[in-house]
Amino acid sequence: MIWLTLVSLLCSVAAALVFVPLVRFAARRVGMVDRPDADRKLHESPIALGGGGAVLASLLLGFACTILYDRYYGNFDLGFMSLRWYGLVAAAFAMLVVGLVDDAWVMRGRQKLLLQILIISALVGSGTLVEKVGLLGFEVQLGSLAFPVTVLWLLIAVNALNLIDGADGVATTTGCFISLGLAVLSWEYGTPMGCVFAFCLAGSLIGFLCFNKPPASIFLGDAGSMVIGLLIGVLSVWGSVKGSTLLASAPIAILAIPLFDSAAAIARRWLTGRSIYATDRAHLHHLLQKKYGHVGMLFIVALLCTLTTVLAVASAHFDMPWLALLGIVLAGAFLVVTRSFGHAECQLVMMKASHMTRSFFITPQQSLIEKNHRCVPLQGSGQWGRVWQPLVDFAQVHDFAKVSIDLNLSWLGEGYHASWSAVRMPDRDNQLQIRWPLVVAVGPAAKPINIGTLHVVAEADGVGIHERISELSLRLADLEPQIQQVIAELQRQHAVEPASEAPTTRRVTDSDTVVDPPLLVSSHH
């Protein structure tokens, strides 16, 4: 079996070293390149896409060579391929096509999600089914929930790798460690075919990393990250076999790093009221690169993946599932305690939990006068309190139920969220909700750019409500100099040019009374 793993690694690495330059050349010729933008992409010049096609081709060639070697020169340890392997390859090709279309023409998030669900549902329907959930030795039979739980798990795996793929070599390095860990787990659990397949995936990623390491000359693209996520998700189910158990400690620990990033992104967007499809520069790779540099970022990612993978494998080998949980806790604690990643999200969660808990233990009289107040600098060092505090003072004087501000200046690496609200909010059918996209004109050309959203809630039948809203508009105009000053200070610190364009619309929550006018905050000349 050792010879088979060596053959799988060597063949897939060699195949990648041949396929990747060919795919890179073809991508450049047809214009399939990733161009930099001011929102979240860190590279400075167009980079070829389509690396996922080279990775999948290298993986399949290495896998085929290993099977042929086993049949003609080995002991036939792998046996015959079952139908589920053909189903996995077909699903991988379908996911590759979706990713290539998205790389070439850019699909909407919901369109891509729908196609992911259809592909994964077909794969799950062909036999890849999680029958029970187990953690730390406890198992729960899923029964009729097996299908949706399996689909959800594979969707998480696909998009976790997709979200973390935002800097040279990050997704490739993470995928290498995850694949190697799943290969060892498959070996430990007696699934040789899965072990060899995972080694082939690791080998193809190692070969691809030669061209994807900083400075990268080709990217995985959505085609690559989604395919790798799908394969890893399926292998985590098949590799943890003993009754198709999902959420076993070891597979979850191996996938811990991309899952951290996904969980933090979802929490950050949900707790600040942003769209789940919003883009920012607050992902794991963005913050690690800002703090440690590109080489340091890759070193930290590799170190954390090594920690979680080694402890996950040890937990499986020694039948001590708490070791895998220890790896997850240590990796997460390092990121949060060092304020490298996840600290702001933890603050948001703790504040939300604190306010909710507090609401259960105050009297009805107190709930009428008590207020919840939170300010969380998500990123950067901008002095946004100079803009926020006058808004709080205004809300107190004019008896608003809630005022919150969410700022996302992605081109400056700045994010700020603050909220002031009554413990007892008005009934939903008596709420006036206003969401203002905050648009500011900056730079020599004074082009308007969306920097965030202001959200105000008041009683719809309150005395003089329309006059108070008009006064709020005037108050915002008075804050124009402070906003301009903070942005100017940040631009001097970062020495960057502002984005040329930004979206000026935001999603509005459902309510009976909603007003959504754009607010233009700009210098008057």
Here the tokens at position 69 are 């070697």
Q: Helices (DSSP H) in 106-145: which residue ranges? A: 109-125
Instruction: Map tokens 């459902």 to a residue.
Output: 510
- What's the pLDDT at 358? 82
- What's the pLDDT at 260? 94
Here the tokens at position 50 are 């389509």
Separation between Cα atoms, residue 255 and residue 251, nearest integer Å: 6
Residue closest to 275 by CA, chosen among 14, 503, 461, 447 = 503
pLDDT in tens, the chain (525 residues): 788 899 999 999 999 999 999 999 999 999 898 877 655 555 567 899 999 999 999 999 999 999 999 988 878 888 788 888 999 999 999 999 999 999 888 888 889 999 999 999 999 998 888 887 766 667 778 888 889 989 999 999 999 988 898 888 999 999 999 999 999 988 887 788 989 999 999 999 999 999 999 888 999 999 999 999 999 999 988 865 444 445 456 778 888 999 999 999 999 999 888 888 777 888 999 899 989 998 999 999 999 999 999 998 888 888 888 888 899 999 999 999 999 999 999 999 998 898 888 888 887 777 778 889 989 999 888 899 999 999 999 999 998 999 999 999 888 888 999 999 998 888 888 889 999 888 887 766 667 888 899 999 999 887 888 888 888 888 888 887 888 889 888 888 876 444 443 333 333 333 333 333 334 443 333
Please say whether the beta carbons of 423 and 370 come within 8 A. yes
Return the HEC string of 352-395: HHHHHHHHCCCCHHHHHHCEEEEEEEEECCCCCHHHHHHHHHHH
Separation between Cα atoms, residue 220 and residue 208, nearest integer Å: 9
Here the tokens at position 213 are 């390491």
Q: Counting every residue, how long is the chain?
A: 525
Please say whether the beta carbons of 290 and 159 come within 8 A. no
Bridge-based pairing of strands 519-521 and 431-442 is parallel
Largest CA distance in the chain: 87
Q: What are phi and psi of 75, to 5 degrees?
A: -110, 20
Give the other-Cβ count within 10 Å of 143's Cβ: 8
* Sequence-distant (≥ 6) Cβ neighbours of residue 58 within 8 angstroms: 12, 13, 15, 16, 19, 20, 203, 204, 207, 208
- What value, to the nearest 5°, has the Cα angle with vertex 35 and ends 33 and 39? 145
| Alpha carbons within 13 A on the beta-carbon side of 216 | 31
Give the other-Cβ count within 10 Å of 414's Cβ: 25
Beta strand spans in 223-343 (E): 245-246
Please say whether the beta carbons of 54 and 19 come within 8 A. yes
- What value, to the nearest 5°, has the Cα angle with vertex 486 and ends 480 and 487? 90
Instruction: Map tokens 């004074």 to a residue.
Output: 446
Q: Where are the domains of the chain?
A: 2-343, 372-521
How many angstroms separate the Cα of 63 from the Cα of each of 23, 199, 210, 300?
Answer: 20, 9, 20, 31
